[in-house]
Chains A and B, each alone.
Chain A
Amino acid sequence: MAQQTPQLTRSAPPAPAARTGFGKGLLRRRELSIVLVAIAAFAYFSLGSYGSAFNTTNNYHIIMQYFAPWAIIAAGESMLLICGEIDLSAGFTFSFIPFVFMSFYNQGLDVPLSLVLAVLVAMGIGLVNGVIRTVFNLASFITTLGMGFFLEGMTYIQSGAEPAQPPITGTLGDLLGDWRWSELGWALIIVAVMQAALSYTKYGVYAQAAGGNPLSAAESGIKVNRVKVATFTLTSLFAGLAGLVDQVRVGSFDPTSGGSDMMFMSVAAAVIGGTALLGGSGTVIGALFGAILLAIIKEGFTLSGVSAYAFDVVIGIAVVAAMLLNVYISSLRGRYLR
């Protein structure tokens, strides 16, 4: 038998034959494992005792309500993580921007103009985060933490600590959350655009270089600081958009919305989806599925009636179990592909 001598220096044994191009291509995608885990979680609840209640359009809509804002913000946070940074203020931008909109509106400007101005303010927040980070070389953790507190207080001041009713109606209102699936549309479009940017534009390469090896990137002439500032701006923009759309959907601009929980779930979605916490590589589509997974777990257990005290315990265990599965599938993938 023509047995091959084990070669110490070779890293890859000859690949087994007959693995189709498409199959292997699918296997190569780092998002495969999180997609499989999300499907597993979906199956778990679909086949459980609440399966018939789980598999209704209304229920899917509720799941969407959970993951859509997380996915929108995660589209920015995952790019930031890839750059080697993080934005802890995103959840507070989420709460703040609707009240910025209300300020403009209450001063007599019409809805579209107020929206545009509010969105510009959101971008301005990101710009400030980015500039402080790059010009003063202050770690983004600290910078955005401070910005987060600042925005939290500003939200109370702007809102007078009272919720407000969104005055957005008609087609614009539908686009911005009144039509029940519009928030999903926003999430899908933003995720698609950012993933395309990551995979198919120079910006994506620069972001990975800036996070993976900033010195090498700078030596190659990449303007690392500009890339980071742009990414901070995008993240705050998305956070502000998410805040507007989500709260128009709910029907109330609420100063207690968003907050650190929202930011944390978005970052968790990004990391669970396959973006490295330390930067250099990542995926935006993975973040979308990370958010979907978290939403399925949260909503599924609420549906099956797990009461509040035990709820966090169950969620914690479910998330770790899901992640173990994720890691395991990834390692299987790695072995298959070698």
Chain B
Amino acid sequence: MSEEETNTPGADVPHQAAAPDENGTGIASGPGGSGPGGSGPGAEALRVEGISKRFGPVTALRDINLHVRAGEVLGLLGDNGAGKSTLIKIITGFHRPDSGRIVIGGEEVSLRSVAHARSLGVETVYQDLALVDELPVYLNFFLNKELTAGPFLRHGAMRRQAVDALAEVGISIPSVGAEVRALSGGQRQAIAVARAVNTAAKVLLLDEPLAAMGAREGGQILRLIDRLRQRGDLAIILIAHNYSQVIDVCDRVNLLQHGEITFDRPTAETSVAELLELVHAEYRMA
């Protein structure tokens, strides 16, 4: 399929996604990364097949099939309560699925814990950001991965590395020693994302990163995600509610309904209107 111009219907943020240059790869992958850092999505980083999960009488996920490649941003949409967070938690090792398989980097795995998933390169940034307000930026950055010399923390080394890691992802924070509670929503999100990226992740999951954020800061986060996509080595799954933002930054979009992925299309081939129609169709009176 040939590349097409990305639809940019009335976005509330300046359109910042990469320009959809033709790259002639012939792969249906939407606007591929054309800037420095890669030439389109690479190998498949994560695939899940047949995932199901029940909590007591409630079936959260019925039969989930999803895949994402390195250098690709996959948008995961779905109504509240559709099961998106549950899916994220399964991929990240927090819950175990009742059935199905998870394949990371081509190898099937059975995730024992969050730490195990992390060691395989799967990192998540939760809605609540998993930040501790009372701790400074650099300690949050290294939360549960602190650098130590014997039993003692290496505060200096952690500070320096935090500064470097944040700079690498293009974020500037006035002081890494400041408590996180003093930062704005956008800065906190950025730190949480940078922290996840820092641990050599292969798969990065972002759960509603733009929730409760103003237009300007939301735009900053989208630019950050785009920069990460351009690195080419990260597969990113993005859960969001603002469909126009999703269209802007994602290569492909999945729709989670009734515990299944009912829609899987490159964003170049769909539009906000179509997505809205799909989601709302089930609420329309017969």
Residues of A within 8 A of B (CB): 11-12, 200-202, 204-206, 208-209, 211-213, 215-217, 219-222, 280-281
Contact = CB atoms under 8 A, between A and B. Distances in A.
Interface of B: 94, 113-115, 118, 124, 126, 128-135, 139, 143-144, 146, 148, 151-153, 155, 174, 182
B153 A221 contact: no
B152 A209 contact: no
A212 B132 contact: yes
Contact of B146 (A205, A213, A281): A205
Contacts of A280: 132-134
A209 B134 CA distance: 8
A222 B144 contact: yes
Contacts of B94: 219
A230 B207 CA distance: 33
A216 B152 contact: no
Contacts of B129: 216
Q: Give 3 closest A-B pairs by Cβ, nearest first.
A: A280-B134, A212-B134, A219-B130
B130 A205 contact: no
Most buried by A among B144, B146, B148: B144
Given A202-B148, A209-B143, A219 B126 contact: yes
Given A205-B135, A213-B133, A217-B132, A200 B144 contact: no
B115 A216 contact: no
Contacts of B124: 219
A216 B132 contact: yes
A209 B179 CA distance: 12
A206 B144 CA distance: 8
A221 B144 contact: yes
A281 to B, nearest CB: 4
A11 B187 CA distance: 14
Contacts of A213: 128, 130-134
A204 B151 CA distance: 11
A219 B125 CA distance: 10
A205 B153 contact: yes
Contacts of A209: 132, 135, 143
Contact of B143 (A11, A211, A222): A222
Given A208-B132, A211-B134, A217-B132, 9 more contacts: A200-B153, A202-B153, A205-B146, A212-B132, A212-B135, A216-B130, A217-B143, A219-B114, A219-B124
B128 A201 contact: no
A202 B146 contact: yes
A12 B173 CA distance: 13
B153 A215 contact: no
A327 B185 CA distance: 28
A219 B117 CA distance: 12
A202 B146 CA distance: 7
Nearest to B113: A221
Given A202-B146, A205-B139, A221 B134 contact: no
B128 A215 contact: yes
Contacts of B135: 205, 208-209, 212
